[in-house]
Amino acid sequence: MTDHRITYRRLSRRKFLTIAGSSAAAAWLAACARQAGPQVAAPAVTPTRTDTGLATVAPSSAAPLTGKGTGIAILASGAEADPWDPALATRATSAQIMYNIYDAPFRFEGWDLVNWLAENHTFSEDAKTLTVKLREGTRFHDGTEMKASDVVFSMKRMIEMQGPMSLLWTGIVEPDGITTIDDYSFKISALQPYLPLVETLAWVYVLNEKQVMAHVEGDDYGTNWLGQNDAGSGPFMVKEVQPGERVRFDRFPDFWGGWGPKYLDGWVFEVIREPATIRLAMQTGQAHAVQLWSIDVDSHETIRDTGATDMFDYPIPSIVCIKMNNQKWPTNNKDFRKAMAYAFDYDAVIQGLLKGESDYVFGPYPKGFEFWKSFEGSDMLYRRDLDRARHHLEQSGFDPTSESLKYNYRSFDPTQRDYGLVLQASLKELGVNVELEGLTGPEFAERQKNPENAVHFNRISGRGLMSDPDFYCREFFYSGTWEGKTGYWATMSFYKNDRVDELLDEARHGADQEARQKMYEEVQDNIYDDAPDIWVDQQRFIVSIAKNLKRFEPKPLGGNPIGFYPMYFETGGTS
C-alpha cells in the first residue's frame, strides 16, 4: 500500500519572477513530498536555465530516437467531457483534455512558472510591455509549423469571445495590443500596469489559426468544431469522439518535447457514471486513473487497499465552498448567511466525509496566494457555533417555517451530494429545511446563469491559475463578472460589494506590491464579514493511479489535470 502526500510551497512574486533552473516539477516534488512510499518519478523533460530568469523545459535530447509504446491509459470519469474550446471552457473535464492536447507559451510546474513554447521573454519595468520569443520548429498536429501569429490569434480570440478566461485581461489588454514582431516573436502592450501578465500566458492554449478559421460556422469563431476536435500542438491529439461515452487521444509522434524510451500510445477519457463500476474497473485494471470528483474518499482508499493503485493526495489553491445566492431571499441577508456559516458542521466534512484529507479554511481565498490573510484566532472565524447561528438567524428575520430552501448538485458527483447532506443535517438543528435536487451537467450549468435561475445553495470548488489573487477574486467576488452577463459556476453567489469592486480594480493595476497588499487585506476583511459563501475546506485533491502506470505528476493549478505526458506503463498496459 502506497499513500503519497505532497505539500506545496507558495512562491512569492519576487522569487517567482527571478527563479532560475532549479524550479521544475522534479525539484518541486523532491522538495515538497511528504509520503510513505517511493518518490514520484521526475518528468521526461528537464529544465535548463535561460537569461530571462525562468526555467525552460527542453526536449530530451538524450532520449532515443525510437522508444517503446507501452499501451493506452484509461481515465475513468463520472462526468462526460465538456466542450474543450480554450476560449470558453471552464470545467475540470475540459481542463483535463486541453492540458494534454494544447501548449502555451509558459506552463506551471507546481507553483513555478517555466518557459514552455517560449524560449525567452522580456517584461518592462512598468509592467506594461511583454515581448516573447518562441522556440522554432514546434509542429501542430496537422504538421504545419507554429508561428507567432498563431499565438496572437489565440489570445485575441479568447479576449474577443469574452468567455470566462477573458477575465485574465479585461481592462488590461485589448486585441489590438497583441502583435507579431516576426515569425517567432510577439509583443503584448497593456493599457495599464499588470504584474502577473507573464503568468496569464500559461493559459493561452495556442491554436492553429488556419485550421480553426477553416471550420468557422457563421460567427461562431470555430467553437463548434473546437468543442469536439483539436487544433493543437500538444503531446496527444484527438482521435475519436463518442459524445457522452468516451474520447480517445493518440500520441503525437512529432511533439516538440520528444519522447523518452517508454511512453503511452494514447489515453482515453472514459465516462463511467456509477461509482461502483469505477471502483471495479480500477481494481481489475480496466481503468488506470480516477480523480476525486468521480468517486469519494472511501472509494479511493478502498481501491488503494486492494493493492491496485497508488493514491496521491496533494493540496491545491482551491476552497470548496457552498455558494449562497446573495440576490435571493433569505440568502441575500448577511445575518442569515452568517447563521448558515456558524451552523455548518465543518468537522463532519473534513474529519468525516473526507477522513482528514482536506484542510480547514481561515480566509475567503485560498492559502498559497499572494497577500493571503488568516482569520485564525479572530472572533469572526467561521466554525460551528449554534448559539451564534441562532443569534444571527433571529437577526435576519427569516422564519424557518415559511419555506424550504434548495440545494443543487450534479447527480453524477457523490461528493457534491454528500456536502449537501451535511448542510441539510446542520441546518435542521436551526429548524431550517433544505431540499436536495440532483441535476445533469447541462441542467446544473443552466441554473448558474443568473440569480433568478440559481437556487439558494450550490457546492463548488474554486481553481487557482496563478499565485496572484487577481483572477481568483474577480471570478468569485467581483460583481462585474456576473452582473449583466451570463454567470457560471464561479459566480453562483452573485456577490456584490461596491467597496470590494473598487479595491479589486485599484489593486489590479497597481505596481506597488506593498500598496496592493493593503488593498487585498481590506478586500478580504470586507468579504469575510459579508460571508457570501460557506467556506468549508481548502481542498487536498486526490488522484488514484494504477500501480503499473508510472510518472504521475501533480498539477495543483488550472483544474488539477492529469498530464499523460510523460507517463508510461511499466507492465501490462491496455492496447
Q: How confident is the model at residue 224 (pLDDT cuts 50, 70, 90)?
A: very high
Whole-angstrom distance, CA of residue 427 vs CA of residue 433? 7
pLDDT in tens, 230-242: 999 999 999 999 9
User: What is the per-residue pLDDT for 479?
Assistant: 97
| HSE, side-chain direction, 13 A CA sphere, residue 147 | 10
pLDDT of residue 31: 33
Average confidence score pLDDT of the chain: 89
- Whether 214 shows a pLDDT value over 90: the answer reads yes
- Helix/strand/coil (H/E/C) assignment for every residue in 54-92: CEEEECCCCCCCCCEECCEEEEEECCCCCCCCCCCCCCH
Quick one: residue 548, left, alpha or beta (phi over 0 = left, psi -120 to 50 = alpha)? alpha
**Which residues have CB under 8 Å from 375's CB, separation 6+?**
362, 363, 381, 528
For the chain, the residue count is: 575
* CA gap 471, 164 in Å, rounded: 10
Least confident span in 16-30, 274-288, 438-452:
16-30
Task: Write down the pLDDT at residue 497.
Answer: 98
CA–CA gap between residue 524 and residue 373 (Å, rounded): 7
Residues 453-471 have a mean pLDDT of 92
* Residue 32 confidence (pLDDT): 35
DSSP 435: E
Q: What average pLDDT does this structure show over 211-219?
A: 96
Report the candidate in 349, 399, 334, 371 with the shortest Cα–Cα distance to residue 519.
371
The answer on pLDDT for 39 being more than 70 is no
Alpha-carbon distance of 99 to 93, in angstroms, equals 10
Name the nearest CA neighbour of 556 among 381, 268, 315: 315
> What residue segments make up the domains of the chain, in order of their start?
3-308+547-569, 315-539
pLDDT value of position 68: 86
pLDDT single digits (tens) 375-396: 999 999 999 999 999 999 999 9
Rounded-to-integer distance, Cα 519 and Cα 213, Å: 43
The tens digit of pLDDT for each residue in 56-98 reads 655 544 343 457 899 999 999 998 888 999 999 988 899 999 9
| Cα 565 from Cα 258, distance rounded (Å) | 10
In angstroms, the CA 286 to CA 283 distance is 8
Would you say residue 300 has pLDDT above 90? Answer: yes
Integer Cα distance of 389 and 169 in angstroms: 40
What percent of the chain shows pLDDT beyond 70? 88
Distance in angstroms (rounded) separating the CA atoms of residues 537 and 16: 27
First to last CA, the chain: 26
Average the pLDDT over 515-535 and give the result.
98
Q: Could you give the CA distance from residue 312 to residue 38 in angstroms, rounded to a whole number? A: 12
The answer on pLDDT for 405 being more than 90 is yes
Model confidence at 293, in pLDDT bands (50, 70, 90)?
confident
Confidence at residue 29, expressed as pLDDT on a 0 to 100 scale:
34
For residue 543, what are the β-bridge partners? 291, 312
Rounded Cα gap, residues 144 and 499, in angstroms:
50
As a whole number, mean pLDDT of residues 442-463 equals: 92
Cell numbers at 90, concatenated: 471552464
Average pLDDT over residues 422-437: 98
Which of 13-27, 183-197, 483-497, 532-546 has the least mean pLDDT? Answer: 13-27
The DSSP call for residue 353 is I
Residue 276's CB: how many other CB atoms inside 10 A? Answer: 10
For residue 44, the model assigns a pLDDT of 34
Query: pLDDT value at position 120?
Result: 97
Find out whether the peptide bond into 330 is cis, omega within 30 degrees of 0: yes
Most distant CA pair in the chain: distance in Å?
Answer: 72
Amino acid letter for position 33: A
Q: In which residue are the cell numbers 510546474 written?
A: 109
**Closest C-alpha to 132, from 110, 144, 149:** 149
pLDDT at 42 over 60: no
Does the pLDDT of residue 209 top 60, yes or no? yes
Please give the average per-residue pLDDT across 116-122, as a whole number: 98
Average pLDDT over residues 391-416: 95
Per-residue pLDDT band for 25 (boundaries 50, 70, 90) equals: very low
Question: Are 329 and 472 a contacting pair, CB within 8 Å?
Answer: no
Are the C-beta atoms of residues 488 and 448 closer than 8 Å to each other? Answer: yes
544 close to 453: Cβ distance less than 8 angstroms: no
Neighbours of 535 (CB within 10 A): 25
The pLDDT, as a whole number, for residue 107 is 96
pLDDT(14) > 60 = no
- Find, among 459, 261, 452, 260, the residue nearest to 354 by Cα: 459
Identify the pLDDT of residue 409. 95
Backbone angles phi, psi at 572, to 5 degrees: 65, 40
pLDDT score of 404 more than 60: yes
Whole-number pLDDT of residue 489: 87
Q: Report the pLDDT value the prediction gives residue 58, as an integer from 0 to 100.
A: 54
DSSP 461: E
Please name the residues in contact with 242: beta carbons below 8 A apart, sequence gap of 6 or more: none
| Cβ 118 vs Cβ 105: under 8 Å | yes
Question: What's residue 400's pLDDT?
Answer: 97
CB contact at 8 A, 548 and 572 = yes
The CATH code that applies to domain 3-308+547-569 is 3.40.190.10
Average pLDDT over residues 447-476: 93
475-524 pLDDT tens trace: 999 999 999 989 888 999 999 999 999 999 999 998 889 999 999 999 99
Q: What is the pLDDT of residue 222?
A: 96
d(CA 109, CA 43): 10
User: Between 386-396 and 334-343, two packed helices, what is the crossing angle to 10 degrees?
Assistant: 160
Q: Determine the average pLDDT of the residues in 389-415.
A: 95
Q: Rounded to an integer, what is the distance from CA 19 to the centroid of its chain?
A: 23
pLDDT in tens, 557-570: 988 999 999 999 99
Predicted confidence at residue 462, as pLDDT, reads 85
Is pLDDT above 60 for 48?
A: no
Q: Which residue has the higher pLDDT, 474 or 60?
A: 474
CATH architecture of the domain covering 315-539? Roll (3.10)
